[in-house]
Amino acid sequence: MACHAAGVAGAPRVGDKEAWTDRIAQGSELLYEHAIVGYQGASGYMPPKGGFAHFSDDDVKAAVDFMVSESE
């Protein structure tokens, strides 16, 4: 979540509703997939599990859920 707190490397900042609207509209399952396995987007790169391989999938999903709830 550190990248999303600061907007590093194209990461949408937590709380930036405009940046999150289209992402949230894609649905939780796709957001989870991108966060867990990684994603190369037009504006930046999401490393798998945010670069923390020791995080469980449930940890990552909880972080996604938090960021979404703060950005709706």
With 0.75 as the threshold, say if the pTM is over it.
yes
Q: Which residue has the tokens 């504006």?
A: 43
Two structure tokens written together for 2: 């550190």
For residue 22, what are the domain limits?
A: 2-71
Q: Is 46 helix (H, G, I), strand (E, B) or coil?
A: strand
Q: Any alpha helices (H) in 11-72, and if so which ranges?
A: 17-25, 28-37, 57-71
Q: Which residue has the tokens 């990248």?
A: 3
Q: Is 41 helix (H, G, I), strand (E, B) or coil?
A: coil
* pLDDT (0 to 100) of residue 4: 93
The pLDDT tens digits along the chain (72 residues) read: 789 999 888 899 999 999 999 999 999 999 999 999 999 988 889 999 999 999 999 999 999 999 999 999
Domain count, the chain: 1
* pLDDT (0 to 100) of residue 47: 96
CATH number of the domain residue 27 falls in: 1.10.760.10
